[in-house]
């Protein structure tokens, strides 16, 4: 696979983003949803900020309070044996079988714009900020699907009751309408197809089943983008391969003559995140036609290998121009990068199911 990584990579780093308040620092500007608006490429950045800590032994957890519309900041001592601080992203309770208790940063969405796709100007202020009780730990990893003149922006809404997927719409990237939670916890990595197929909207989604099952890709349909049903299992993990640990959709499905091409992420059991591709039937996207055996992009460049959470390439959006797929992707849960790949080459690299 020929991968052309931009010379300017990483295109946006935390240092390029002004924190939204003086006592905070930006630690991530990554996993951006991508679309085009007027004559510009828009990256809707996931900006992660944390309260500045003067004491290296103190970890802080920012929490949005929907009653006061303010952030509350909890403090923990790294030596406190009640908690496990080994994953820099989260604070866990020792001995608990639950996931995490708190996040060490709060994420929200901020717009970066570009005429050439290389140089981005970042808005001064957040665009979509936590605003309700299902978003108290932040909002993350947006994707953007344009349908007619409306941009549907959907993202992980994180709170103590779980991580679900919520949706907001906009026509101009100024005014927004909040449409509520479209997939209940635990669910992430939703990708809404850009058009109806045989009268229905479709969305790939990624539940995390607990009693039995794995974090794998499902697909659902909807008459109105808000109510999703007829859920079907779509694509699973592969033992011993790069996508053996967890997986989920990445970019909005790309319509090709051969089928819907979905660029998805997969991680190994030791959390190395790569991008691969799966081809779905044009008329019935619940049918998998083919899949790449090898990743189409894997963490190799230094900015992909090292960072806040290293060895991660994670795309939430691509811009396709003819044969060129401009895949924008988050690197190491820290910054944004872009790589160009050939659409034909991706299609040629697929292995068809028998």
CB-wise, 89 or 294, nearer to ligand MAN?
89
The CB-of-204 to ligand MAN minimum distance in angstroms stands at 18
Number of residues that bind ligand MAN (CB under 6 A): 8
Q: Which of 90, 200, 282, 305 binds ligand MAN (CB under 6 A)?
A: 90
The HSE-up count of residue 197 (CA atoms within 13 Å, CB side) is: 19
Using CA atoms, how far apart are residues 326 and 111, in angstroms rounded to an integer? 18
CB-wise, 162 or 194, nearer to ligand MAN?
162
- The answer to whether residue 9 forms part of the interface with ligand MAN (CB under 6 A) is no
Closest by CA to 46, choosing from 114, 111, 99, is 111
For residue 181, count other CB atoms closer than 10 A to its CB: 18
- The answer to whether residue 158 forms part of the interface with ligand MAN (CB under 6 A) is yes
The CB-of-164 to ligand MAN minimum distance in angstroms stands at 10
- The answer to whether residue 184 forms part of the interface with ligand MAN (CB under 6 A) is no
CB-wise, 46 or 291, nearer to ligand MAN?
46
CA 184 to chain centroid = 17
Residue 270: both structure tokens together: 């030791």
- Dihedral of CA 275/9/346/259: which sign? positive
Q: Which of 12, 103, 191, 217 binds ligand MAN (CB under 6 A)?
A: 103
| Cβ partners under 8 Å of residue 175, min gap 6 | none
CB distance 337 to 5 below 8 Å: yes
Using CA atoms, how far apart are residues 59 and 73, in angstroms rounded to an integer? 10
The CB-of-87 to ligand MAN minimum distance in angstroms stands at 7
- The answer to whether residue 163 forms part of the interface with ligand MAN (CB under 6 A) is yes
Report how far apart the first and last C-alpha atoms of the chain are (Å, whole number): 23
Q: Which stretch binds ligand MAN (CB under 6 A): 35-43, 62-70, 155-163, 218-226?
A: 155-163
The CB-of-244 to ligand MAN minimum distance in angstroms stands at 18
The CB-of-173 to ligand MAN minimum distance in angstroms stands at 24
The CB-of-168 to ligand MAN minimum distance in angstroms stands at 17
The CB-of-107 to ligand MAN minimum distance in angstroms stands at 7
CB distance 263 to 328 below 8 Å: no
CB-wise, 158 or 346, nearer to ligand MAN?
158
Using CA atoms, how far apart are residues 351 and 126, in angstroms rounded to an integer? 42
CB-wise, 103 or 313, nearer to ligand MAN?
103
Closest by CA to 31, choosing from 121, 141, 123, is 141
From the number of C-beta atoms within 10 Å of its C-beta (0-12, 13-18, 19+), residue 232 rates as: exposed
Q: Which stretch binds ligand MAN (CB under 6 A): 50-58, 156-164, 204-212, 299-307?
A: 156-164
CB-wise, 66 or 162, nearer to ligand MAN?
162
Closest residue to ligand MAN, based on beta-carbon distance:
89
Q: What is the DSSP string of 55-89?
A: STTEEEEEEEETTTTEEEEEEEETT-TTEE--STT
Phi, psi of 130 (to 5 degrees): -50, 140
The CB-of-61 to ligand MAN minimum distance in angstroms stands at 12
Q: Which of 40, 49, 135, 140 binds ligand MAN (CB under 6 A)?
A: 140
- The answer to whether residue 156 forms part of the interface with ligand MAN (CB under 6 A) is yes
Q: Which of 89, 115, 146, 171 binds ligand MAN (CB under 6 A)?
A: 89
Q: Specify the 3-state DSSP secondary structure of 106.
A: strand
Residues listed for the chain: 354
Binding characters for ligand MAN, 315-334, by CB under 6 A (x = yes): ------------------x-
Residues of the shown chain interacting with ligand MAN in the complex, contacts defined by CB under 6 A: 89-90, 103, 140, 156, 158, 163, 333
């Amino acid at each position: 696979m020929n991968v052309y990584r931009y010379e300017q990579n990483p295109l946006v780093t935390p240092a390029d983003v002004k924190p939204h308040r003086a006592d905070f620092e930006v630690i991530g500007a990554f996993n951006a949803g991508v679309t085009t608006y007027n004559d510009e490429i828009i990256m809707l950045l996931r900006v992660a900020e944390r309260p500045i800590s003067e004491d290296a032994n103190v970890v802080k957890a920012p929490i949005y309070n929907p009653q006061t519309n303010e952030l509350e900041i909890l403090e923990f001592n790294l030596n406190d044996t009640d908690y496990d601080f080994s994953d820099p992203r989260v604070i866990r309770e020792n001995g608990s079988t639950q996931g995490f208790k708190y996040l060490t940063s709060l994420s929200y969405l901020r717009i970066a714009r570009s005429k050439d796709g290389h140089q981005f100007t970042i808005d001064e202020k957040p665009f979509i900020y936590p605003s309700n009780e299902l978003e108290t730990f932040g909002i993350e990893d947006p994707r953007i699907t344009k349908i007619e003149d409306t941009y549907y922006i959907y993202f992980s809404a994180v709170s103590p009751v779980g991580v679900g997927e919520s949706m907001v719409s906009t026509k101009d990237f100024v005014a927004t309408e909040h449409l509520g939670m479209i997939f209940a916890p635990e669910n992430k990595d939703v990708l809404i197809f850009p058009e109806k197929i045989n009268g229905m909207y479709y969305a790939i989604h990624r539940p995390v089943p607990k009693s039995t099952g794995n974090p794998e890709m499902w697909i659902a349909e909807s008459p109105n983008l808000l109510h999703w049903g007829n859920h079907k299992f779509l694509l699973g993990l592969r033992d011993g391969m790069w996508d053996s640990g967890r997986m989920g959709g990445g970019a909005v499905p790309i319509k090709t003559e051969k089928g819907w091409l979905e660029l998805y992420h997969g991680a190994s059991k030791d959390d190395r995140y790569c991008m691969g591709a799966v081809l779905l039937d044009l008329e019935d996207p619940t049918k998998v036609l083919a899949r790449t055996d090898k990743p189409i992009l894997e963490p190799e460049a230094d900015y992909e290998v090292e960072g806040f959470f290293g060895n991660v390439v994670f795309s939430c959006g691509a811009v396709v121009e003819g044969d060129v797929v401009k895949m924008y992707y988050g690197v190491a849960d820290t910054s944004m990068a872009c790589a160009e790949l050939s659409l034909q080459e991706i299609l040629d690299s697929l292995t068809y199911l028998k």
